[in-house]
Amino acid sequence: MFLKILQIAIPFVWFGMVGAISFVEAPLKFRAPNITPALGLGIGKIVFKTLNRIEIIFAALLAALLFSARPATDFALSVFAAIVVLLALQTVWLLPILNARAERVIAGVDAPPSRKHLIFVAFEILKFTLLFVLGASLLMENLRFEQ
């Protein structure tokens, strides 16, 4: 029972972290008084690096939980797989590119415009949605089996 509770809790906690950081903290920090683009990017690098590490831990823990107490249907596993793919792409492809661009801006070098940030935002929106779907599907599945 405890494993099932963790299976439900982790996607919702992860969902809340992505929502709070990606959609609240990230855009608002640039509106704070005296925050320059370079300072905002420096803060963002630290915050998103930390979030990414936490997300990897959540993904590993959730994978172990889903393996230990497999859901009755493959739907949750498919949604989780999609989340892991998005997280992997962000980790090995997008974040290094965005960090390198941020370093150039922090150093005062003109960085050419990039669409990679828009791709990152699209991935965050999709991951955010899929985390809610995963948590809800695991919750609904467990409610069905409790009756």
**Residue owning tokens 């990152």:** 120
Task: Count CB atoms within 10 A of the CB of residue 144.
Answer: 9
pLDDT means over runs of 10, the chain (147 residues):
94 98 95 93 96 98 96 95 98 97 93 91 98 97 72
Got the DSSP string for 20-76? HIIIIIHHHHTTSTT--HHHHHHHHHHHHHHHHHHHHHHHHHHHHHHHHT--SSSHH
Return the pLDDT at 143. Answer: 85
Return the pLDDT at 112. Answer: 82
* Secondary element (H or E) of residue 122: helix 116-146
Residue 90: is it exposed, middle or buried by C-beta count within 10 angstroms (0-12/13-18/19+)? buried
Return the pLDDT at 113. Answer: 81
Return the pLDDT at 146. Answer: 55
- String of b and e for 23-58 (b: at least 16 CB within 10 Å)? eeebeeeeeeeeeeeeebbbbbbeebeebeeebeeb
